[in-house]
Structure formats: C-alpha cells, structure tokens
Amino acid sequence: MIEGYLGNHLVGDKHPVKIVGVVNLSKASFYQESIVSSSQELEKIVTQMVDEGAHCLDLGAQSTRPIQIYGGEGRIDEATELQIIRDSLEVTLDVLSSYNNIEISVDTQRSVVAKYSLNKGVNIINDIAGFKKDEKIAKYIADFDSTCVVMAARNEPGDVFSIDEIVSELRRSLEIGNKYGIDEIKILVDPGIGSWEARDYFHDYDIIKNLEELRILNKPVYVGISRKTSIGKALNDAPPDQRLFGTLGATIIALVNGAHVIRTHDVKPTKEAVKVAQTILNYIPQDFAP
C-alpha cells in the first residue's frame, strides 16, 4: 500500500485524492488567465481556492512554458524569483492565518529560493528538476524535515520521454533525496506531464495511460495535467482558456490509474469531479433484494 505525506496531509491508496491549487506568479505563463499580478489578486485567488476546497497552494514564480509553442520570454534570474516569492509568501501567509491545515508549496529549482521559503514556514518544495539542477534543495528539505515533490528529469524538466525513462530518473531523484536524509514518507513523485521544450505533446497520453507503472516506486503520485498542450491537441488545438472540460476528463483517467494528488488551476470543478469519481470507485454494492 502506498502512503505518504503532502505537508501534514496523509496521501495514498487509502486516502481521498488531495487537490493542489496553482498560484501562478509568472507573467510568462502559458495560461494567461491564471496569472496573479498584484497583492489584491493574490489575496483573492488564495481565498477562493481555499474556500473551494484546496488542501495546498503551489506558488510558482518561474514559468516553464514551451517557448517554441507559446513564444515569449525566457527564464527569470534567481534574484527576481526570490523577490517574487518573498512578496507573495507574505500575502499568502497572512490570508492563510485565518484557516486551518492549508499547506503552502513553492515550485522552484533553486536552493536559495527553497531555503528562504522553508525558513518562512513553507512545508512543501516542488522541484520540477527532481534535484538534478541543484542538489542543495534536497539538503534543505531534509534539514527542515519537510515534504517534497520531485518531477522526472534527466538534466532539465521534461527531457525524459518513455514511462521507463521516467521511472528510472525518478529513482535517481529518490536516491539523491535519500543521500541527504529526506524522510522516505515525505517524497512524492511527478511524471512530468506537459509539452516541455525537449518533448512533444503526445508523450502525455502515454504517461497518463500507463501511470500505474509508477507504483513500483512505492511513492504517492502527484499529477499536474491542468490545461496542458496535450489537452488542447485532443480538442482540435483549443487554447488554454478552453481546456477545462478536457482537463477534467484527463484528471479522472489519471485518478483511476493511480494519481493521489492533482495540481490544478480550477479547484472547484476538479474537486467535484474527483469526489464523484472516488465515490463511484469506492462504492460497495448493496443487497437490494426484498
């Protein structure tokens, strides 16, 4: 049986799927409608996502959208990322002081940003490079006895293709985490769904279809499908703002195939779709005989 922690939330085979709300702090995001560009907007989206049932909020300042698909700017530098996270954490922590048991995750590939966030009370680091770009992230997670999500990557996010490669690179990330002493039950694995610069959209279909192959790692599976390019391709190249229903369809397939945590831009519809799916999957037939 797979079981672990997302912050203070138990996740795994015997627990309800947890919902992580995406708090998008990057102006370069592929989904422009999700971008938070002011403290007022941030306060509003944090409150909305928590009220809609998010268990965790994932703050990200660095866009990883495929430039070859969406165009736009490259990556921001460390100082800029740190400043964005610093300002956003202040607002988010203030809003969440009125709630109980809502976790904050910071999406970063930089140990400086991770360390700052952990010092401020963040309990989850989401490293989409899987410790391959900056191993010191693993050290700080271990030092703070925190939770982490590691995404499959060889050197850069999205540079693995088949499910076998994904499992292999996630093993390497787990080995790095073990080397630094991260608690075994505080690591979640993410297969890395998305049209990254190194790969094409159709690989997502293979990953979602074969998601159960990740069970060999004995870690909770964290999936971010929300409004990705592969959803749009299946819907005749629908743009990101028209991919909600397609996202919900893919989310349920991922849930059936073993996802324990869903990262989404759309908390309420995702929460409701997941709840109905889990109600049906967990239903115990009754004896209706008179």
Q: Which DSSP string corresponds to 84-136?
A: HHHHHHHHHHHHHTTSSS-EEEEE-S-HHHHHHHHHTT--EEEETTTTSS-TH
User: And the tokens for 187?
Assistant: 């690591």
How sure is the predictor about 189, in pLDDT bands with cuts at 50, 70 and 90? Answer: very high
> Of the ranges 74-83, 118-127, 181-190, 229-238, which one carries the lowest mean pLDDT score?
74-83
Residue 31 has pLDDT above 60, yes or no: no
How sure is the predictor about 285, in pLDDT bands with cuts at 50, 70 and 90? Answer: confident
User: And the tokens for 60?
Assistant: 């990200």
In this prediction, residue 70 carries a pLDDT of 39
In this prediction, residue 67 carries a pLDDT of 44
Residue 45 has pLDDT above 50, yes or no: yes
Amino acid at 77: D
Choose among 174, 204, 196: nearest CA to 187: 174
In this prediction, residue 198 carries a pLDDT of 64
Residue 148: what are its φ and ψ, rounded to 5°?
-145, 155
**Residues whose CB is less than 8 angstroms from the CB of residue 283 and which lie 6 or more positions away in sequence, other chains included:** none
User: And the tokens for 136?
Assistant: 């010191």
Choose among 183, 185, 217, 19: nearest CA to 105: 19
In this prediction, residue 245 carries a pLDDT of 98
Residue 90 has pLDDT above 60, yes or no: yes
- CATH superfamily, domain at 3-282: Dihydropteroate synthase-like (3.20.20.20)
Contacts made by residues 103-106, CB under 8 angstroms, sequence distance 24+: 103/6, 103/7, 103/8, 103/9, 103/55, 103/56, 103/57, 104/56, 104/57, 104/59, 105/7, 105/20, 105/56, 105/57, 105/58, 105/59, 105/149, 106/58, 106/59, 106/60
User: And the tokens for 195?
Assistant: 């049209």
Mean pLDDT score, 86-101? 96
- Which of the listed ranges 30-34, 90-94, 158-162 does the model predict with the highest average pLDDT? 90-94
Residue 247 · residue 226 · CB < 8 Å: yes
Residue 56 has pLDDT above 60, yes or no: yes
> Of the ranges 3-12, 69-78, 94-103, 232-241, which one carries the lowest mean pLDDT score?
69-78
In this prediction, residue 9 carries a pLDDT of 98
User: And the tokens for 261?
Assistant: 């945590």
CA distance 188 to 197: 24
CA distance 147 to 174: 13
Give the pLDDT confidence of 109-132 residue by residue, as tens digits. Answer: 999 999 999 999 999 999 999 999
Residue 66 has pLDDT above 70, yes or no: no
SS3 188: strand
| This prediction's pTM | 0.93
How sure is the predictor about 192, in pLDDT bands with cuts at 50, 70 and 90? Answer: very high
- Please give the DSSP secondary-structure letter assigned to residue 158: T
Residue 68 has pLDDT above 80, yes or no: no
CA distances from 67 to 63, 72, 147, 206, 214 (A): 10, 6, 30, 23, 29
Residue, of 146 and 74, whose pLDDT is higher = 146
CA distance 119 to 148: 15
In this prediction, residue 158 carries a pLDDT of 84
User: And the tokens for 256?
Assistant: 């059936």
For the CA atoms of 66, 68, 72, 77, the dihedral, rounded to the nearest 10 degrees, stands at 50
Q: Where are the domains of the chain?
A: 3-282
Kind and range of the H or E run holding 203: helix 203-209
Give the pLDDT confidence of 127-160 residue by residue, as tens digits. Answer: 999 999 999 999 999 999 999 999 999 998 889 9
